[in-house]
Structures are given as structure tokens and as C-alpha cells.
Amino acid sequence: MKGMELLTDLYELTMMHVYMKTGIIHNYAIFDMFFRKNPFNSGYVVFAGLEQLIDYLENLSFSKDSIDYLYSLRTFSDDFLDYCKSFRFTGSIYSFQEGDVVFPEEPIIRVEAPLGQAQLIETALLNCINFQSLIATKAARVCLAAKGRQVIEFGLRRAQGPDGGLSASRASFIGGCIGTSNVLAGKMYGIPVKGTHAHSFVMAYNTEIEAFNSFTKVFPESSILLVDTYDTLHSGIVNAIAAAKELEASGKRLIGIRLDSGDLADLSKKVRKLLDDENLEYVKIVASNDLDEFRIDELLQQGAPIDVFGVGTRLATGYSESALSGVYKMAAIEKDGALIPKMKVSDEMSKGTIPSRKNVYRYYDSGNTMCFDIICQDDEVVLDGDVYDIKGNRFAVDRDLVYRCMHTPIVQNGTVVYSKPSLQEIQHHCIASLQSLPESLKDLYAPGEYQVYISPKLFHLVESMRTAIHKKID
């Protein structure tokens, strides 16, 4: 991600300018990235986009062209532009791993850096994480709804621009899709590329059977034929069966047929019977056409014998949620050599923030099922005593559990210390994370709520700071 230094909101730069003029731009600060609400009425979010954030940080510097542009705005002083000329990220990043399931209010990413540096990266960090996490979550929901059947991402043509299409393909693979139609994503990320053919291919020939035979002749070992250009049952599947028989005569097999319109449940049943009657049980049925997790669940409940789902628009665009509500908030800042906790106060407790340097610990039962998470200050691990939820309610929790810290060092003092996993490894980690989720959280329609607690020490810090802030205001 070279040349992305201006991928930021103007106010990040104007705030940095003021920090410089008031002498605090180099003060050490801590920021947290978190979100407040699960999208899609989901019970979880799949964390994605970390690798793009790392690439951004590794290449973050201001080119001469960028400096010249900032100068042309007539907004920034020469000494601030000099600061930008020598800018490098020298801070530290601690984060969940890509493919982890995460929950509202948890500090997913912790940034520790001089204030100016921590401020500049806010916009790009949220841009990298919010969209990919949204799409990875959607993909996970779609793949879970498919109950082991393969899902392919077909969404490039409906995605929000070229970069949106690439990010969607990557995130969809993390969430469980087995491939993408997006050839550039295949090249860039190593995702298996998949495809069939369009209705226009059939219409380009005099007859449907001529089109099918032409395709299978060129691709005898990988053909999937689209059978709904004219009439699925009276033409398309009949000609597909004929093409399959010709392939059999040459020692090859038709991979599958695709349905892209009509009553997919009814058509798939009738097509399956016609194929089976011709001893073509091996031919798979691929279905597409405005599919999402709810439509797939509905089709399978109707007994549709569909083997593969091609999911496009509603996956690549994150339908019906436009964005993940990720935010980036200050948790502490250095003053006179001491690190001072900071928090945003709101009339709604759930809209405030949690101060101080924090870690998240995840607790598992003996069957490796996730039980709850606890947000702690960085110098503690909760082993006994009560905990609190984000609204201040007190709970006693079972302590006879296995736990692990979810924050991994990613960047330390400006140097990447994290060994980047392959995209396939991230997908496997995501699948394992989803398997550890309580089943109730995977429900498409009324998922349970995963408990995220805060430690007593952190809770009392929040309460004391809120009281002090209100006294100062009064």
C-alpha cells in the first residue's frame, strides 16, 4: 500500500498541526479500535483486514508530491510540513489475529505511539478493518447457512469499486468461501478462481446444444453449464444431459450445471431427478441469483438438492448493513512523564469508552467452547472475584476455565514483529474460531449474546473517572 499517506481525513492532519503548535505531538498515547454493535443481527464479527493495515504502516511516509499538495492547501505551516517529510511510524500495535471472532466494546486493536502518529493512522486503520470485517462476517454467516456445501464469491461486478471488489474477495475467502470469480483477487491473494459462463455465451451460438458442446470441447474437465437461458426444464437441462453424455463417451465428466433464475428449490429438485435418471448423479447443481444466508437457509429447509452456491451482490456489498460501526478512541496519553487514562463520557454508559492500556482474555471450557471474554488492565489477569458487564451490572463467573490473551504484538517500535500467515491459514483459523463459538451465537435469526465483561479494577477506574469528570463539569 505505497502512496497511501493521504488516505486520511483532513481533520487528522489539522489536529496534528495543533498538537505540534502546542507541543504535545510527541507525547505518548494509546488508542483502541473497537465497535459497538454486531452487524446483520449476528452473534459475532469475524476480524479481517489486519494484513492491509500492516502493509499500510510499513509503507507510511510522505512523498514529495504529497508534501507539495499539502503545501498547496495553504493550511499547514512549514515546520509541520517538515515534520511530515520525515514521518515514520515508530509506535507499537497489539491486535487480535485475523480470523478471530470478536464482539462489541472489545479493544480489537491497541495502538501505542507518539500522539501525532497515532492520530494520523486512524482513518486508514478503520478503512482497512471495518469493511473487510463486515464482509468476512457476512461470508461466515453465508457459509454456515450452507451447512457444509461449497460457497463461491461472485460479487465483483456489484462491488463498490475495484478496491471494494478486491477487499470483498479477500474477506469472503477468510469467512469460508472456497473461491472467487475475481481473477485479480486470485492473482493478488492466491484465492482459487472459479467460474461458469454467461447467458450471452449461449446466445452467441445458433443453438444451445452447440454452445454447450463448444464449451465442453475446450474445457472437457471443468465445464459447468448454465441451463436457464431459454427454458431450464425443456431445453437447458436436456441439452446439458446430451453434452454430458458426449463427454462420457470421450472419457470425461461434466462437472455441473448452474441455475440462475426461477424457483431454485423446485427447479433443483426436478433437475436433480432428470440427471439421476440418466445416471449423472455425479453432476453437481450450482445455484446463484441474489442469494444470502437467509435465502440459502430457506432453500435447504425446502430440501433443495443444491451442491454449490454462487453468492454475489449480497455478499460483496455486505447487504443489508452498509458498514461495521468500528471506532478509534483515545485510552491514555502521557503528561509530565506519566501515562494518564482518558475516557469519553456519555449520558448512555454504552456510548462511553473504557480508559487505560487494556488486554482481552478469552475463557474456554474443557470442550474448547468459548464462554466469555474479560477486558482487563494490562497488568492483571482475572482469576477470581466478580466481574462487570459494560452497563455496570455485577456477575460471578466460573473460574475453572482455560484462558488466553487475545492481543498479539504486531508492530513494536515501528518494526513488524508478526509473522504474517497465508490467507489459507487465516481461513483455517476463522473456521476454528467459529467452531469454538457456542451454537446459540450462530443462529441466523435470534442469536444469543456473548458476554464481554470488564475486570473489577477496570470497572472501578471507569467509575472514579466518570465521577471526577462530572465534578469538573459541575
| Confidence (pLDDT) at 350 | 64
pTM over 0.75, yes/no: yes
Instruction: Decide if 463 contacts 405 (C-beta within 8 A).
Output: no
Q: Average per-residue pLDDT in the chain?
A: 97
Closest C-alpha among 40, 227, 1, 281 to residue 142: 40
For the cut 70, the answer to whether the pLDDT of residue 296 exceeds it is yes
Spatial distance between the Cα atoms of 16 and 34, rounded to a whole number of angstroms: 22
Calculate mean pLDDT across residues 230-259.
Answer: 99
Closest C-alpha among 293, 9, 247, 284 to residue 125: 9
Calculate mean pLDDT across residues 432-448.
Answer: 99
For the cut 80, the answer to whether the pLDDT of residue 332 exceeds it is yes
**For residue 303, what is the DSSP state?**
T
Summarize pLDDT for 358-396 with one digit per residue, the tens. 999 999 999 999 999 999 999 887 776 789 998 889 998
Share of the chain above pLDDT 70, in %: 98
Summarize pLDDT for 99-126 with one digit per residue, the tens. 999 999 999 999 999 999 999 999 999 9
Calculate mean pLDDT across residues 291-296.
Answer: 99
CB atoms within 10 A of CB 470: 10
CB atoms within 10 A of CB 350: 12
Spatial distance between the Cα atoms of 4 and 68, rounded to a whole number of angstroms: 15
The two beta strands, 92-95 and 28-35, are unpaired
> In Å, how far from its chain's centre is CA 391?
27
Calculate mean pLDDT across residues 223-236.
Answer: 99
Of the listed ranges 201-210, 278-287, 372-381, the least confidently predicted one is 372-381
Cα angle: 177, vertex 410, 368; to 5 degrees = 55
Question: Is the sign of the CA dihedral 133, 136, 138, 140 positive or negative?
Answer: negative
Closest C-alpha among 210, 274, 197, 290 to residue 243: 210
Summarize pLDDT for 143-181 with one digit per residue, the tens. 999 999 999 999 999 999 999 999 999 999 999 999 999
Residues facing 297 on adjacent strands: none
| Confidence (pLDDT) at 348 | 65
For the cut 80, the answer to whether the pLDDT of residue 223 exceeds it is yes
Give me the half-sphere count of Cα atoms (radius 13 Å) on the Cβ side of residue 178: 13
| Confidence (pLDDT) at 349 | 60
Instruction: Decide if 45 contacts 100 (C-beta within 8 A).
Output: no
Q: Where are the alpha helices (DSSP H) in 197-253?
A: 199-203, 208-218, 237-249
Q: Which helix (H) or strand (E) holds 311?
A: strand 308-311
All structural domains of the chain, each given as residue ranges with its CATH number in brackets, are 10-135+321-473 (3.20.140.10), 136-316 (3.20.20.70)
Query: What are the φ/ψ torsions at residue 338 (nearest 5 degrees)?
Result: -115, 145
